[in-house]
Amino acid sequence: MDADFLIIGGGIAGISAAARLSELGSVIVLEAEEALAHHASGRSAALYEPRYGAPAVVGLSLASEAYFRSVPGVLSPRGLLLVAKAEAREGFEHDLATMAFDRISVEEARGIVPILNPDVVALAGYAGHAEDVDTDLLIQGFAREAKGRGAQVLTRAKVTGVAKDGAGWRVESPAGVFTARMVVNAAGAWVDGVAAMAGVRPLGFTPLRRSMARIPAPGGHDVSNWPMMFGPGEDWYAKPDAGALIVSPAEEHLMEPHDAWADDMVLAEGLARYEEMVTEPVTRLLASWAGLRTFSPDRVLVIGADVREPSFFWLAGQGGYGFQTCPAASRLAADLIGGRAPEIDADLVAALSPARFG
């Protein structure tokens, strides 16, 4: 065997798993693109909001906090500001409760973000527990850890064939043909395609596009200390980014796996929802892009050995939670593969297992 573990996908899921699994044996990572984290991982809003998502996602995010705190510079203060029109009260109250916001007045909200439109914004909530994630620092840290233990991380290595080969697997790519005892499927939007290639039953993952635009700082304001802003049900969001703002319509449009790009009409609709809440118009775009957030049928990550083929391991369905869950997700993967008792509780392990899909 060329390796004990062959990981398909070099996004945050695959590279964090490589770091953990390199403690247990030899590792090869195959990434299709020229660099790690090219697709969804490289297009993330980069926020650690541990109360965002389904209960099992929240559990995994909270279990990741200790790791984030242990790495200097990975987290930095940001905060979250929830704003809504009067007619959106029901959705506002839901988000306020489930995401542990403090209710604040519109005047207080305008003290934080002065461009909010007092004639439109009627409801506001603030949470200080959300923090920025230095995604590059996190990715490079995991990559150094993996390589430091001898892991091979190969780019321009799109997998073209996966087949059982005796007691292990034979995986074909432009970088070569490799054999491994176990395949870890961390291929993002392509996970079901990889499974089908390997003769493993796909689980029904859905890649959903999300578009984003980068706009100049509104009205020349210093936005560096503004929180991330969003509307009830996350129907838009805006987040400071290197002196500018990223604005997203937060859409979820079903797509085939591909190198996604922003839809101009959808982007315009999202920018209009943002503009309605503020006093400064959007005059131009600095850039636009999109990513595919891939979800399992129940919108919870899938971490565990395939029910029918135990040497095929799922690390998939990160959706919009890949960075904020990666420390605990990769540790769970290593615990399960290494036969160790997981650090998280049994109910959470079961909620993440592929066995829940039968």
Three-state secondary structure string covering 77-118:
ECCEEEEECHHHHHHHHHHHHHCCCEEECHHHHHHHCCCECC
Comparing 37 with 224, the larger pLDDT belongs to 224
* 246 shares its domain with 320: no
- The total of other beta-carbon atoms located within 10 Å of residue 202's CB is 11
Given a cut of 60, is residue 172 above it in pLDDT? yes
* 117 shares its domain with 218: yes
Look at residues 294, 313, 340 and tell me which one is the last residue of a structural domain.
294
* 145 shares its domain with 199: yes
* 200 shares its domain with 302: yes
pLDDT-derived band at 1 (thresholds 50, 70, 90) equals confident
pLDDT-derived band at 37 (thresholds 50, 70, 90) equals confident
Look at residues 279, 294, 309 and tell me which one is the last residue of a structural domain.
294
Looking at residue 185, what DSSP letter applies? E
| Four-residue CA torsion sign, 46, 50, 55, 59 | positive
3-state secondary structure at position 314: strand
Q: Residue 35 belongs to a domain with what CATH number?
A: 3.50.50.60
Looking at residue 19, what DSSP letter applies? H
* 274 shares its domain with 228: yes
Taking only the tens place, the pLDDT of each residue in 224-258 is 999 999 999 989 999 999 999 999 999 999 999 99
72 domain-assigned: no
- Share of residues in the chain with pLDDT > 90 (%): 91
Look at residues 270, 294, 318 and tell me which one is the last residue of a structural domain.
294
C-beta of residue 198 within 8 angstroms of C-beta of residue 312 = yes
**Domain interval for residue 321:** 3-46+135-205+297-357
63 domain-assigned: no
Q: Residue 286 belongs to a domain with what CATH number?
A: 3.30.9.10
* 91 shares its domain with 180: no
pLDDT-derived band at 265 (thresholds 50, 70, 90) equals very high
Looking at residue 203, what DSSP letter applies? -
pLDDT of residue 42: 53
This prediction's pTM:
0.95
Given a cut of 80, is residue 90 above it in pLDDT? yes
Residue 182 tokens, joined: 């176990």
pLDDT-derived band at 46 (thresholds 50, 70, 90) equals confident
Which string of b and e fits 10-33 if b means at least 16 CB within 10 Å?
Answer: bbbbbbbbbbbbbebbbbbbbbbb
* 302 shares its domain with 329: yes
C-beta of residue 7 within 8 angstroms of C-beta of residue 27 = yes
74 domain-assigned: no
C-beta of residue 139 within 8 angstroms of C-beta of residue 41 = yes
Q: How many domains does the chain have?
A: 2
* 290 shares its domain with 216: yes
Q: Which of 293, 342, 316, 259 lies closest to 7, judged by CA? A: 316
Q: What is the mean pLDDT of the chain?
A: 95
* 225 shares its domain with 314: no
* 289 shares its domain with 145: no
pLDDT of residue 167: 86
* 151 shares its domain with 180: yes
Calpha distance 102→94 (Å, rounded):
13
pLDDT-derived band at 40 (thresholds 50, 70, 90) equals low
pLDDT of residue 43: 60
Structural element, H or E, at residue 197: helix 191-197
Calpha distance 28→178 (Å, rounded):
9
* 139 shares its domain with 261: no
pLDDT of residue 136: 93
| Rounded mean pLDDT, 172-201 | 98
